[in-house]
Structure 1
Amino acid sequence: MELRQLRTNDAEDYFSLRLEALQQSPDAFATTYEEEKNQTAAKYKERFTDPVNSFTFGAFEENELVGVVTLFREPLIKLNHRATIVAMYIKPEKRGSGLGKILIYKAIEKAKSLEGVEQIYLSVVSTNIPAIKLYTTCGFSIYAKEKRALKVDNTYYDEEHMVLYLVNN
C-alpha cells in the first residue's frame, strides 16, 4: 500500500475514482454524478498544484487508486486557522480494512504541519454510521446537526457537522 499526496499525473485516476464515488454513494456528496461527468481531469490537475490551501491524499494498491481524502485550508485571513476535510472515498471492497483511518490521520497530520491551523471540520450524512464512527475514533466530535442538508431526488438527508480541535483553548 502506497499513501501519498496526489500529483498532476494522478488527475485522470482521481477523476475516475471521483465519478465512481458519486455513482456508488450519491447521498454522501453535495456534487452529483450528472454535474461532474462532463468535467475533465484538468480541474484536478490544477488543484493538485496548489501548495498552500489544497492537499489530496491517495491510497494506492498495486498502482490502483483505491481511496482518497482532501484537506482544504481556508484562505481568508479570519478563517485561516481552519481546515476542512472533503471528498473522502474508499472503494467498497477496501472498506473496513483500516484504510479510512490511515487517510484521515494523513489529513490530520498535514493540517498539524500547516502553521496556524487550529481546527479541522468535516460534514457527514447522518445515516453513514461507519463514517461517523471512523471520524469519532480519529478524534472528531459532532457540534451540530443540519436537518435536510442534502436532497437526492425526493429524499432528504441530514448531516452531522464535526470538528477536531488541534489546539486546546
Structure 2
Amino acid sequence: MYIRLLTAKDAKLYWQLRLKTLKQNPDAFLLTVAEEENKLQPVKKTAQQLKDPTRITLGAFDQNRLVGSITLQREVFEKIKHKGSVLSFFVENDYRGKGIGKTLLTKVISIAKNYEIEQLLLTVVAKNTDAIHLYEGIGFTVMGLEKRALKYENIYYDEKHMVLYLSRINGQ
C-alpha cells in the first residue's frame, strides 16, 4: 500500500473509484450515482479538478489499484485562507478498517500545516459513525448539526459539520 498525489493522468482511475464508492455508500455523498454518470465528459472534468492548484488530492494504492482518496481544498480569499476543507474522502469498502483512511487523513493534515492552514473543515452524514469515530480520534470536533441536510429517495439525512484546529492563536 502506498499514498501519492493524484494528477490529471489518474482521472479515469479516480472517477471509477468515485462511482464505485457512490454505489457502495449512496447516502454518504452529495451527488448520486446517476448525477455523476450523467456529467458531460466526466473524466475530462475530473482531470481538470486534479490540476486545480487550490486542490490537493491524494490516492491510496494497492499495487496499481486506486482504493482510496482524499482532497484538501485550500481557500484563496484573504479573510478565509487560514481555512481548508476535506472533500471527496472515500475508501473502497473492501479496504476499510485497515488504517488507509487514517493514513490519508493524517497526510492531508500534514499538508494543510505546510500551507499554514489553521483549521480544517469537513461535513459528514450524522449516521456515518465509522467516519465520525475516525475524525474524532484524530481530533476533529462537531461544531454544528444540520438537520435534514440531504434528502435521497424520500429519506432525510442530518450532517455534522466538524473542525480540526491546527494551530492555537492567543490561547484560543
Whether the TM-score (by the shorter chain) exceeds 0.5 is: yes
Q: Is 1:63–2:64 an aligned residue pair?
A: yes
The 3-state SS of whatever aligns with 1:14 is: helix
Distance 2:57 2:152 in 1: 26
Report how far residue 50 of structure 1 moved: 2.3
Distance 1:96 1:106 in 2: 17
The 3-state SS of whatever aligns with 2:66 is: strand
TM-score of the pair, normalised by structure 2? 0.94
Mapping for residues 19-168 of structure 1, pairs under 5 Å: 19-39=19-39, 40-51=42-53, 53-115=54-116, 117-168=117-168
**Paired amino acid for 1:98:** G
In the alignment, is the contact (CA less than 8 A) between 2:68 and 2:92 conserved in 1? Answer: yes
Report how far residue 126 of structure 1 moved: 0.7
Q: Which runs of 4+ in 1 moved over 3 A?
A: none
Cα deviations across residues 23-52 of structure 1 (Å, max 9, x unaligned)?
Answer: 11111111111111023211121122223x
Distance 2:146 2:61 in 1: 34
Identify unmatched segments of 5+ residues in structure 2. Answer: none
Number of equivalenced pairs: 167
The 3-state SS of whatever aligns with 2:3 is: strand
The 3-state SS of whatever aligns with 1:72 is: strand
Distance 2:27 2:8 in 1: 28
In the alignment, is the contact (CA less than 8 A) between 2:58 and 2:104 conserved in 1? Answer: yes
Q: Which deviates more from structure 2 when the two are superposed, residues 152-161 or residues 31-40?
A: 31-40
| RMSD, matched Cα | 0.9
In the alignment, is the contact (CA less than 8 A) between 2:28 and 2:125 conserved in 1? Answer: yes
**Paired amino acid for 1:138:** I
In the alignment, is the contact (CA less than 8 A) between 2:21 and 2:93 conserved in 1? Answer: no
**Paired amino acid for 2:44:** A
The 3-state SS of whatever aligns with 1:41 is: helix
Identity of aligned residues (%): 46
